[in-house]
Structure 1
Amino acid sequence: MNSTYNLPLVLMSLLVAVLASFATLELAGRLASPAHDGRRSRWLFGGALSMGVGIWSMHFIGMLAFELPIKVGYSLRITLASLLVSIAVSYLALRIVSVSRLSIRRLILGGILMGLGISAMHYIGMEAMLMSPSIDYDAARVALSVLVAIGASLAALTIAHRLRRQDTARVLYKRLGASALMGAAICGMHYIGMSAALFPADSVCGALDDLNGNWLTITVATLTIAMLSITLILCAAERHFQSKTEQMSTSLTLLNRQLLRLATVDTLTELPNRATLVQRVARAITRSKRTGVPFAVLFMDLDGFKTINDSLGHSVGDGVLQAFAQRLRQAVRRHGTIARIGGDEFVVVIENLDTPQDASVIASLILSHMEEDLVVDGVPLQVTPSIGIAMYPRDGMTVDELLKNADAAMYGAKENGRNTFRIFEPEMTRIAMRALSIQRGLQEALAQGHLSLNFQPKFKGSIEKLVGAEALIRWNDPKLGTIAPLEFIPVAERSGQILQIGYWVVSETCRQLVEWEKDGLPPTKVAINLSPHQLRQRDLVARMRAIVDEAGIAPQRIMFEITESVAMQDAEKTVAMIREFHSHGFEIAIDDFGTGYSSLAYLQQFRVKQLKIDRFFTDGLDKHGDEAYAIVSAIIALAHSLDMDVVAEGVETQTQLEKLNSLLCDQVQGFLLARPLTSEAFGALLRGRQSAVGTPA
């Protein structure tokens, strides 16, 4: 009996085979995921049902595509039996591919069993036609179809096992390609098996009253595609959910790592932070107690760092900290633990030391590594540390004591000139506490008005005419008492408070000048000292001009004094700064002249209004005779040749005054003529000498 095939149904069977193969690969991936270990049995049975129906549907549609010249039906009982065989075969396949490692033996055995199962499903399904006489089969083609089924099964199991992991590169595209190959192989087996069937010419179908193919084709195809589609949708939904879950889990892991990092590491320098340092010092104490070997804590901060931060910006400051940290790593290497505990403060812990001198060697090594400039954003910067050393157990038995005493020693290093180290001594604690009290007190003094100004009168030497004053800051604290400028100015300079204090001095001076004018007193000129920290501020001149303008004071009535040593630290920058002051109407004096190392070339470029002779030379006029007289004479002659006035400080004897007058010194100030006066006392002096007060130059 001749047979034909319905091409659309053949194509539909191929589509179903491909779709079933893709669903199989997706299900294998689901089963291989560790996230599904608790739901493995449900996925296994559900997957076997979906996959089995898909394979069986492909076979059934393929049979419906087979057309004979007689009407054909199918036995419901036998058809269901073939479906059960397909589901069982699918269960077997999923069990095989879901194992973590697929051995060759297991693969071959599984492929043979699966191939035989698919073949059994096919031929049982053929028997559902209940043909009479029975269908004859070409043995060779039957054998070929079984071999194709086994080969397709082996290939399918191998591919499914290899592509079961979701993290395989381009896994979706690989599964699509593999599904097409697997679908074609399954269809090939089916149609080879169909070609093996021989129907005698007088054959009659005995299952016409069971399942009729005319309406069953669309029903089976629709339900099967729907089931496979639902399966794939569920897989995709689960994959999406799993992906989101994994992303969330990854994010939480990263967040936990970041939080741990923030809790233990300084993010700017990548060094351990204070919390980590405390733990490591505590462990070092435990080890030292056990072994009896001391260790050292080196506490350091960067000299002048606040100035860099304020003048060049925080980005440069951060770069300095990073560069310093890297240089510190190079210096210490494996000698100990390095930590940044805040700001510009760093700590190094060195274990297994016998004496403080061993720690001194490490401190010297660190200082030597910092001799070369740090380059930040292409700018070379000289940054040096001051280092304090505390030894366990000699200088402290706890973490807090060691850090506090190392800090006190570091403060002692700064007192010793900076860029050096000091080993802790008990006296340092008192000094450090005093400095801390002063620093805190200064902040309150500014806020609560505990600072005041005195004014040191300046006289024209030959006729003792009052020509101005120098503003001198004073501090009388309710708790700390009277504190000398020599004690609190260095603290303010180190802490950066000198900037706020400096602006306050200018503002208070201007306010006092206005008060004296309101009292009908003649205008006078006041000199104000500038600190090194102030001179590093880029907007210093503009800030000063804004203050005097707001007070309504002419800039010519304010003279700023810069010490010679500070002026020569960066002479070119000083020249530019002085010119900027001049452009805004201010006058500049070089203070403490003769104590530094001036270059005459730069002194000429400075073009300042005054040179102030340091009191050391004034005092020498009494003590050192002709030699001192010659030095002072040379300074005065030099200043006059550069069209500068000369002011002598510290005039305390009549002999000094007479010699200065004989040398034509322009102005003098000192206890001989007047001590520093309160604003009220200076106003009274102005009023008493009103007729003799000089007009500001």
Structure 2
Amino acid sequence: MTGQYNPLLVCLSLVVAFLASYTAVELSGGLNALASAKRRPLWLAGGAVSMGVGIWSMHFIGMLAFSLPIAVGYDFTLTAASLLLAISASLIALATASRGTLSYRRLCVAGTVMGAGVAAMHFTGMHAMKMSPGIEYTIWKVVLSIGVAIAASMAALWLAFTLRTADLENLVVKRLGAAFIMAFAITGMHYFGMSAANFAAGSLCLSGGRLDANWLALGVTATSFTTLVGTLALLGFHTSSLSASLRRANRKLHYLGTHDALTNLPNRQQLSLRIAQAIVECARKESMFAVLFIDLDGFKSINDSLGHGVGDDLLEVCAERLRQALRHTDMVARLGGDEFVIVVETLSDASSAETVAEGVLRRLSEEITVNGLPLRVSASIGIAFYPRDGGDAEQLLHSADAAMYAAKQGGRNTFRVFEPKMDHTALKSLTLQRDLHRALNDGELSIAFQPKFSVASQSVTGVEALIRWRHPELGEIPPLEFIPIAERSGLINEIGDWVLREVCRNIALWDEKRLPPISVAVNLSPIQFNVPDLVSRIDALIAAAGVEPCRLMFEITETAAMQNIEKTSHTIEALQSRGYTVAIDDFGTGYSSLGYLQRFKFDQIKIDGSFMRDLDAGGQRGSALLSAVVTLARALQIEVVAEGVETELQFRTLSELACDQMQGFLLSRPLPASEFLAFLSCTADRVVARASVCDAPAGRGLPSLPVMV
């Protein structure tokens, strides 16, 4: 018994096959672009249902296109099973084509499984007719049709995988072409499988549910079209949303590429663009603008001691304060670390930029609370003007940077306007930073010792260790010049350890020669003082040298002590508990109050030398401060040392105020180690036996040595 094909339904099956193929290609691309991994299983399942319905519809319409001279029906259970097989094959196809890499082995395995599933769908659908006698198949045609199904599946998988990315040229045209190829392969497999079926003469269809083939084909086609077109519409909406997301992502990436991630300020790239625009505008108007290079003072010590989290919070606050200090025409950018740049446009004269710099210094110097910690920072600012100090962004930033270094060397918390000679200073700073590494290893550093004296008896009460650097080409480099460089370069801790070892070596030498024991004061940089393991680090060095802790006093500056009051208090207590004494240096130059003396429990206060110069000028400021400090310190059992004593008038005033100790050129300049050894040796000949310095009460009455006249 032979049948005939309805040409219209055959064409309709081909159209459905094409639509299903195109949906498959689009689905593989949509799944590949899916951002959320959690949504992938849902999309994969929905896509498999849609694609499976399309393939099954093509098969079923193809079945309906074949008419026999008898009434034909289809068993519902077997027909539903064929649909499930189509969906399963589609699931395998989408999972393979939308993820991972398509190796040759993976292509073969997935293509074979998918082709077998499609073939099983076809022959299950044929079996749903329940013909009696049963359908006989031509074996070689069946095998060949399964081979065609597997080959078609492999081709479909490869095409879908290849065309899944959205950045291919002429993507839509390529996907349409791939869909045509896949549709012809799938329908070809179907009709080739149909040709393998042989119906015996007088066969009957035993399945129920006789329906008109044309109406059934129309219903199946409408259902498949609705499913497939709905899927494509959903994919289109998803693609539109994805495109919008990509546009937002691109805008975000552009923003991140031009702005600092921490402070949201423009970065160096955006800064260079703004300066270039300002240059064009000012060249046209023959006007000027300024570049302010800002570097925070003391930020590194805060960052190292309190952690990068606190440092980042501090930078965010500083960035916001810089924004507030600007006019609407200005711009502030962050270069990195604690460096910021402000572009000040529409200047009438240079003083306008200086006014902005003063406002920045004022805002930044205000107390900042971070995580409950009261902190203070200041800034050093360098100012360069266009066109006087540079014709492009690089030159202007270089000039402003050089001026900023000059501000650092000028005492910090100030600003400097660029001058040509500053280029030489900046170059020298870079040279010193480079050579400081060598100096530490090549023996260019040395220690000098400056004695401290009792005001009442003019006897030696102790000595301060001072670092010196003799550069082989530049000669003596002042500590005020190379210590800030060591702090910025990160060498200060290594240099501090060297100083402590050298001091201990000299103490051991003095003890070996049986010289009178005296206390040696060692200066701690703010960065050293804020190192988390400072006390244990000092203990290890002192223990290795075999020196008693009571022989050492550590001096910290007032500004370093006030950076983190709570931590300063704990560190001082930890040092004193181990037998060291602690002094506050340069007292009166910062922003502390006399009330802090009681809280910190210093053993010694060193009054800054600027107050001594005020005594010579007949000023009341230095005398009043000395009187107040001496009175309070005596009540708290803290010694007071006046630094920078250089004249007889200063000495007489200190005597009248009953100051404890003094230090300065009037009595002794800093002495090299060998000269100080001779000084101690000569003085020792006139010293009577007295108690060890370590037996003296903490902070009071250290043994003194009479000065040899």
Aligned residue for 1:689, secondary structure, equals helix
Write out per-residue CA displacement over residues 355-397 of structure 1, whole angstroms, 9 at most, x where no aligned residue: 5555556656655665665554554544454433333323211
Q: Is the 8 A contact 2:304 2:527 kept in 1?
A: no
Q: How many residues align?
A: 554
- Structure 1 residue aligned with 2:555, among 561, 566, 589? 561
CA shift, 1:405, in A, is 0.9
SS in 2 for 1:521: coil
Cα shift at 1:657:
5.4
CA 1:399/1:627 → structure 2, altered by over 3 Å: closer, same or farther? closer
Task: Map 1:233-632 to 2 at 5 A.
Answer: 266-269=260-263, 273-275=267-269, 277-278=271-272, 281-282=275-276, 285=279, 289=283, 294-325=288-319, 328=322, 335=329, 338-349=332-343, 356=350, 359=353, 370=364, 376-377=370-371, 379=373, 381-415=375-409, 418-419=412-413, 421-461=415-455, 463-492=457-486, 497-563=491-557, 574-592=568-586, 599-612=593-606, 614-615=608-609, 624=618
Gaps of 5+ in 1: 33-48, 88-93, 102-117, 136-140, 171-251
Distance (Å, rounded) in 2 between the aligned partners of 1:608 and 1:347 = 40
Note closer, same or farther for the CA distance 1:426–1:684 as it changes in structure 2 (3 Å cut): same
User: Which residue in the other structure is 1:163 paired with?
Assistant: 231
Higher CA-based Rg: 1
Structure 1 partner of 2:219: 151
Name which of structure 1's ranges 333-342 and 523-532 shifts more when overlaid on structure 2.
333-342
Q: Which residue of 2 aligns with 1:246?
A: none
User: Deviation per CA, 1:627-673, whole angstroms, max 9, x where unpaired?
Assistant: 98898677656544443444444455567657766776554444444
The answer on whether the counterparts of 1:268 and 1:318 sit within 8 Å (CA) in structure 2 is yes
Kindly provide the amino acid, as one letter, of the partner of residue 585 in structure 1. G
Distance 1:402 1:389 in 2: 9
Q: Counterpart of 2:390 in structure 1: which amino acid? A: G
- Aligned letter for 1:148? L
Distance in structure 1 (CA, Å) of the matches to 2:254 and 2:472: 46
Deviation at 1:607, TM superposition (A): 4.3
CA 1:383 to 1:254, structure 2 compared with 1: closer, same or farther past 3 Å? same
Q: Secondary structure at the match of 2:685?
A: helix
Partner residue, 1:679: 673
State which drifts further: 448-457 or 406-415: 406-415
Cα deviation, residue 677, structure 1: 1.5
Alpha carbons 2:301, 2:526 under 8 Å: kept: no
- Deviation of 1:350 (Å): 5.4
Q: Residue 372 and residue 610 in structure 1: after superposition, are their counterparts in 2 closer, same or farther (change >3 A)? A: closer
TM-superposed CA distance for 1:692, in Å, is: 3.1
SS of 1:524 mapped into structure 2: coil
The C-alpha deviation readout for 1:389-439, integer Å capped at 9, x for no partner, is 333323211332111012123334445654555443334333333433343
Pairwise mapping of residues 27-42 of structure 1 onto structure 2 (< 5 A)? none
Structure 1: distance between partners of 2:562 and 2:681: 39
Deviation at 1:334, TM superposition (A): 7.0
Paired residue secondary structure (2:403): helix
Task: Say if 1:264 and 1:517 are closer, same or farther in 2 by CA, change over 3 A.
Answer: same
Where 2:579 maps in the other structure, the secondary structure is coil
Shift in Å at residue 307 of structure 1?
0.9
Equivalent position amino acid for 2:552 in 1: I
TM-score (norm 1): 0.62
Letter of the 1:487 counterpart: E
SS in 2 for 1:474: strand
> Partners in 2 of 1:154 and 1:164 — Cα distance?
15
Deviations 1:198-254 (A, max 9, x none): xxxxxxxxxxxxxxxxxxxxxxxxxxxxxxxxxxxxxxxxxxxxxxxxxxxxxx999
Contact 2:321 2:363 in 1 (8 A): yes
1:581–1:275 Cα change, 3 Å: same
Structure 1 position 310, deviation (Å): 1.0
Which amino acid is the alignment partner of residue 408 of structure 1? A
- CA–CA distance in 2 between the matches of 1:655 and 1:377? 48
* Alignment CA distance shift 1:381-1:145 (3 Å): same
CA distance in 2, matches of 1:54, 1:486: 89
Separation in 2, partners of 1:658, 1:75? 127
Contact kept? 2:137, 2:197, Cα under 8 Å: no
Using the alignment, how far apart are the partners of 1:378 and 1:657 within structure 2?
44
Structure 1's 363 and 10: CA in aligned 2 closer, same or farther, altered over 3 A? same
Alignment CA distance shift 1:407-1:352 (3 Å): same
Question: Is the 8 Å Cα contact of residues 28 and 160 (structure 1) preserved in structure 2?
Answer: no
Unaligned runs of 5+ in 2: 1-68, 99-114, 150-155, 157-170, 174-189, 239-245, 694-701, 703-709
Do 1:75 and 1:130's aligned partners in 2 also have CA atoms closer than 8 Å?
A: no
Query: Quick check: 472-481 or 405-414, which moved more?
Result: 405-414
Note if contact 2:611-2:621 (Cα within 8 Å) is conserved in structure 1: no
